[in-house]
């Protein structure tokens, strides 16, 4: 499937990380979500019920990042992907790609961000 909807560089504040201060002090996180599905029916009909509502994707990402703490950004990404596949059933999603970036990663040097990318299909969840 080559059609997809993407929300890129969503920014939220969350308390995720292995270090104690990361669990108590909010820091920025960036999220990309790409949802692969057939956009033909929505494109031909102009009917939002036949595609993905961006607001719902954004809501899920915000709830996960701003919600309870995780130690790993891998767990943040996995939770987002699982919820997207479980909750967004208006149009059949064949695959979801989630990227989570942590710009203020605690390392002893200069870095733009730490990032994980996961790909999940409905059968994986």
* Annotated catalytic residue within 15, 83, 102, 120: 102
Q: Is 102 a catalytic residue?
A: yes
CB 120 within 8 A of CB 96: yes
* pLDDT, tens only, 2-58: 899 999 999 999 999 999 999 999 999 999 999 999 999 999 999 988 899 999 999
Number of helices (H), then strands (E), belonging to the chain: the values are 4, 4
Domain boundaries, the chain: 4-124
Question: Cα(115)–Cα(113) distance, rounded to whole angstroms?
Answer: 6
Strand pairing report for 4-14 and 114-120: unpaired
Strand pairing report for 27-36 and 95-102: antiparallel
- The confidence band for 1, taking pLDDT boundaries of 50, 70 and 90, is low
State the pLDDT at residue 2: 80
Radius of gyration of the chain (CA): 15
Determine the CATH number of domain 4-124. Answer: 3.30.1130.10
Confidence check: pLDDT of 125 > 80:
no
Q: Is the pTM of this model over 0.75?
A: yes
* pLDDT, tens only, 58-116: 999 999 999 999 999 999 999 999 999 999 987 789 999 999 999 998 888 999 999 99
């Amino acid at each position: 499937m080559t059609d997809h909807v993407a929300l890129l560089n969503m920014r939220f504040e969350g308390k995720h990380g292995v270090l104690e201060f990361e669990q108590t002090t909010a820091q920025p996180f960036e999220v990309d979500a790409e949802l692969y599905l057939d956009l033909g029916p929505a494109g031909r009909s102009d009917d939002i019920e036949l595609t993905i509502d961006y607001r719902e994707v954004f809501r899920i990402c915000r709830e996960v990042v701003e919600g309870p703490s995780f130690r790993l950004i891998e767990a943040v990404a996995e939770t987002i992907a699982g919820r997207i596949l479980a909750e967004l059933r208006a149009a059949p999603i064949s695959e979801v790609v989630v990227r989570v970036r942590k710009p203020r990663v605690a390392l002893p040097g200069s870095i733009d961000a730490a990032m994980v990318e996961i790909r999940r299909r409905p059968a994986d969840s």
